[in-house]
Structure 1
Amino acid sequence: MAYMVPEVIRTSAAAGERLLFRTLEEYLPSDYMVYYEPEIEGRRLDFVIIGPDLGLVVLDVKDYTPAALLQVDHDQWQLHGAAGRVEIVRNPYNEARDNARFVAQQLKQDEQLIQPAGKLRGQLKFPCGCGTVFTRLKQADFIKYDLYEAIAREFVLCRDEVDPEDAAFSADVLIEKIHAMFTVWSSSRYYLTTADIRAIRQHLFAEARISAEFRQPADDQDQLLLSLRHIKTTDSYAENRDGQSGDDQRKRRGAVGCGNAAKLAGRARTLAKQYPDWKLLVLCRDAARSLTLEQTIEQLMNEPEDLLDLIRLEEQKAGAAVASNIEVFGFYEWLRAVLNARVTDIPVLIGKLDQHEAILPTYDAILIDNVQDFEPEWLKLLGLVLNPELQGNPLAGDRAQTNSLRGRSRILSMNYRNTAQIAQFAWDFYQRHSALQDTVRSGSVDGVDIIPPYSTHRKGPEPVIARCDRFTDEIKRVCERIAFLHNEKSISYADMAILYRVKDNYQFSYVDTIRRALTEAGMPYYWVTENEDAKKRLERAHDSIKISTIDGAKELDFRAVFVVNVDSMPFPLEAAEEKEVSLFYIALTRALDWLYVSYSGESKFTAYLDEVLEQRSRKGKASKKMG
C-alpha cells in the first residue's frame, strides 16, 4: 500500500477522485508516496506520485462524461456545461504538463536534487512526468471519439484502468502506464534515495499544512493512571467485565461512546468502588470527549456487580448513581472551572506550586484519556495536584522504590493480555524510543515515574529475536517455528499471526514471499488486510494463520505472533516517528504467550534489538561462569 498524504481523502471529494485515491493506495508499492491536492506556492494540484524507481508524476483528474464532449483538439476542449452552455477549457494534458514543469522548477532550487556537473548540470537528477486521469471515460470511449488524437495514449488513464472492479483492470498495467508518463528519457536511470524524498517533501509539501502534528489514534496507546498511592491490581476478570459491561450498556441504551471510553470508564469504576474515599479525576483533551466519558462512567456505576450492589443502587436516589468522588473534565474545562486558569497560566501555576505559594485541589488518582495529546507541561501540573499524603508501598519493580515518593507520581498501564516477559519486552522498547518518554530523564515526565505494564500471574518464554541474512530466511525460520508450536505445543493455526509493516516495495513483495512459503509448507493462511472486505470476512475460528499489517491487527490478539521485516521500521516515509514506535509496541503486545521478532536489514529499531541480543548473550555467558 502506498503512503498517502493525507491518510484519508476528504468526504467532499468527487467520486472519481475517491476511486483513484483508493486504487493508488492499494496497488502502488509501499515505498511510494501519493499526495492528494497538495498546494505548492499557491497552485493546487490533483495528485502527485513519488517513487524511488519512478521519480515524480503529476496527475490531473477529470470527470468528463462522453455526453459532455463537444469538440476536442491539442489546445482546447469544448464541453456541454451547466444550463446547456458551452464551456471552453484547456486540454487536460497541457494543464498537467504545465503543473509538472512548475513542480520541477521549484525542485531545481535545491542543490541536493539537481545534477552538479556535465551537460545536464542544473537539471533534476530524476524524471518529472505528468498524466491525465478520466474517471468517467473508458478506453473504448477514447477510441470511439478519437480522443487519443488530442492526448497521446501513454499520458492517459481511463476508468477501466483505475477501477479494480472493472474486468479490464490490471495493477501491473496501471503501474507500467504511470512509469511511462515522461517526455524525456535518460539511458542512466536514477533512483530516489530516502534523503531525496525527504528533500522533495520539505520543499514542496509541508506536512504541517496537511496533517498538522502527529496525534496518536485512540487505540494506539492505553490510557494512563497517575497516583501517588499503592494501587491494588484488579484481576483480569474484573477488568474485562468492566470493559464488556460498557459495551453492553451502550448497545442497550444507545449512549455515545467508543471502546477506549469503556476501558477508561471501567478503570474509573473499579477504583471508585475499591477506594470509595479517594477523590478521582478523569481527564481528556476536549469537552465533547469528556461528555462521552461521563455518560459511560455513569452507566457503569449503575450496573450492579452483585446482589448487594444491586440493593445499594436501588436504595440510592434517582440521578445520584454516579459516585461523587469522580470528576470528569476536558483539560481546558478543568483549568477554567476548577483552577480558574487558562493554558497560558500553567507556567505561573507550576512555579507557585513548586514554591508552595498556591493551594489547589488535590486528587488521589488522575486517569488520562489519550495521554499523547497532553503536553509535558500539562502532565507536570497534574503531577503537582496529586495528594502526596498517605503514600503506600511502591509497586514491585518500581525504579524509584528506594527514593522518597513525596511529590512524585506513577503512570500505571494495566496489562492482562500478555505474559510478563512479553509485556516487559514491549515496554522496555517503548521507554527507549517514545517521544513522550524522551522528554524526561530516566523514564520520568517531570517527576512522573513510568511503571511498565505487567501481569501479576502469567509467565512465559522470553520473546525470540532472530537476525537473518535475507527476508526469505526470516520466513523460512518463521515456518519452522509455526510447525514446532503447532505440532509440539498443540497451538492451532488460528491462534497464530504474522504481522508486517509494509506489504512491498518497488523491488520485492514481502506478502507474496510469506504466502508462497506458507503454501509450500502446507500451512493454511488468511490474509486479513488483503483488501477492504477481507477483515470483515475474518473468522477467528477458521483454522488458518492470519497475515496482517500491524495496523490491521490492533483489535486482535493471538497466542503466537511473528513480527517480520522489522528493518522496515521506523518507516522512512512516515514523518512522525512516534507513530512508528506505537505501531511496533502494538505489534509486540498482540502476542499472548509466544512472541517472535525477525529482521534482515538495518534500522533504528533493529539496532535496539541487536543490543538486546548482545545483552542476552553476555548474561548467558555470565550465568555459565557462575554455574
Structure 2
Amino acid sequence: MKVFEFFNTYLSPQWEIYIQPHLNGLRPDFVLLNPNVGIAVFEVKDWDLSAMRYGVDKREGKPPLLWGESGGKRFSLQSQNPVEKVQVYRNEIFSIYCPRLKKNGGFAAVTAGVIFPFCPERQLFELLGPCLEYRGMDKYPQCNPVSGLESFFNGDILKIFPQAARGSSFVMSPIQAMDLRNWLIEPDVSASQRDSIGLDKEQLAYVNTRTQSGYRRIRGAAGSGKSLVLAARASELLKMGSKVLVVTFNITLLHYLMDIAVRYPGSTGRSRKDITWLNFHAWCRRICMENDADEEYRQLWSRGDTQTVLNYDLPALISYILDNSENIELYDAVLVDEGQDFLPGWWSVLRKICKPGGEMLLVADATQDIYGTASSWTDEAMIGAGFSGKWAELEVNYRMPATALEMAANFASKYLPESLRIVPRLSQIDMTLEPCYLRWVQHTGVDDAQLCCDEILGLFTRAGSVGLSMADVTFLCDVKSIGYEVVKRLGVKGIRCVHTYDPDEKESRRQKVGFYMGDARVKATTLHSFKGWEARILVIYIERGTTPQALSLLYTGLTRIKRHIDGSFLTVISKDTQLKMYGETWPDFVEI
C-alpha cells in the first residue's frame, strides 16, 4: 500500500496504476500505463536483507542463482528473483500484450523496475548486480531502475521511475494502451467475488425455509437462480450447525457452487471447508474406499460398458454397501444440483445417507437435458423418490441480457421438445439496459481451429469491445480435439489457457477438478463441463447440433452468457448446415 501511495502522490494524473493485475496468469505487483508515454512494470520486495544471509551464485549459461540461508540451511530463492520476474513481465508485454509496439524502438517504451523499500541501495546493488549484468539491464538503468530505501523515503520518483518525467513518446500511442488494457482490466469474475449474491423474495423463501417432509424439488429456467438458491441454502444450513453434502454430476460445477456459498450474506467463510462438495461418482468412489470395497469397485469396470457401470452397476454396489455397513457417514442435508442429469436410482442411493428427519433438495432444468436422463423423472418416479405436490418453480431470468434471452427462447421453441421446455422470461421491472453483442458464424471451411482463434482474438479489435479483459474469455467446444488444437494455437501466440481438453482422459478429469473461473487465464472447456456456469464473453464452437442431446447442449451453451453493464459478447461458430436458418436471425450473421 505504501508503494501505491508513492506512485499515486508523485505520478501525474495521466498515469494509470494497476495493482497486481491479472496478466495472462502473471501477477506483477504494479503496472503503470500512460497512453502517450509508455508502460512500466514493477516488482516490489519488502525483504529485510539483514534478517538472514542472502547471496547470488553465478552459473555457466544460466541466470545467477539467488539464494537465502537461515539456521545453517541454504535454499533457493530463484523463483522469487525480482530481476528475472520483471524480465518475464517486460518480454511478454512487448511480444504478446502490445503486439503493435514497433519491433526495435518499441521495447524502450516498457520500463521494468525493482523496488526494495526497506533495503539500503548499496546493499541491494551488491546482491542483485550479477543478475542485472547477466540480463544486460545494468547498461540501460533508465529502462531498468532498481531502487531501495533512500529513494523511496526521499520521494525520488525520477530515481525509482525515470520515465515519469516524459510527456510523450514517438513509439507509444493510445492504440498500444488499449491492447494492454485488455489484459490489465480486472476480470468480471474476480470483481464479482467481492459482491454478495443477490436473491429475490421468492428465492430467499426457499433459502430460509424447509418443507414439512424435508423434501423439496425446484425447477426453473436457465439463469433463474436455481444454483444460487441451492448454494445459499447449503450455507444457511451450515450456519445452523447442520452437516451438509452438496452433490453434482458435473465435476467443474463444484467450484462455482462453492464460490456462491462463500458470497452468501452472513456466510461465516467456512462454506468451502465445512460443507462436503462432491460429484456423484466421486462420492461413490469415496464410499467404496471407506468401506473396504476397493476390489469390488475395480471389478465393476470389467463387467460391461462404462455407461452401464456408471448409471446402474456402481449405484447398485453403493446401495449394497450402505445397507450392510456400520461405517457410513450420514448428513443432516443432501442437496443435488442439475438434477436432470441424475437418474432416480442415484437419488435413491443418496437418500440412504440423509439422517431421519433430515433435508433433501433437488434442483433441475429439464430443458438442459444433455444426457437424455430427464425423461426418467416420471410422476411415479417422483413419488417413489419422496416428493409430493407440485414442483417449486423459478421462472424469472436474472443472468442473461434481453437480446440473448430472446435468441435462446427462440431456439428452445424451435428445437426443444415442449414437454421438457422451460423458457426463461425477464422480470417485469427489468430495464434491460446492458448491451449484448451477438454474432453467428456459419463455417463452411476446413480449418475450424484457426477460425475459432480468429474469432476469439477478433473480439478485442472490433468496435464496441473496448474495456474487455482477456481473462473473461471462455471458449466452449463440442469436439475435444478441436478444442485442444485451439488451446495450442493460442499458446503459440503466448495466450495461456486453463482447459479440460487433454487427450488423456485421466488428465482431462484432473483438469476438470482444477477448472475455475477465478483463474487469470482464458478459459476453455467442453459445453458439457460448463453447464451451470456463466461468463461475460463466450465463444462457442458447435460441429453437430441436430440430435436431441446436441440441441439441448447448444441451448445450454447459449444460456451461459451473463449480462454486464459494459456489455456481453456471445459468438457461435457452427458447422451444422441445419442450424443456418436459425443463425441468420442473429444480429450479426456471417458465412465463412
Q: Give TM-score, length-normalised by structure 2.
A: 0.35
- Between 1 and 2, higher relative CO (CA 8 Å, sep ≥ 6) is seen in 2
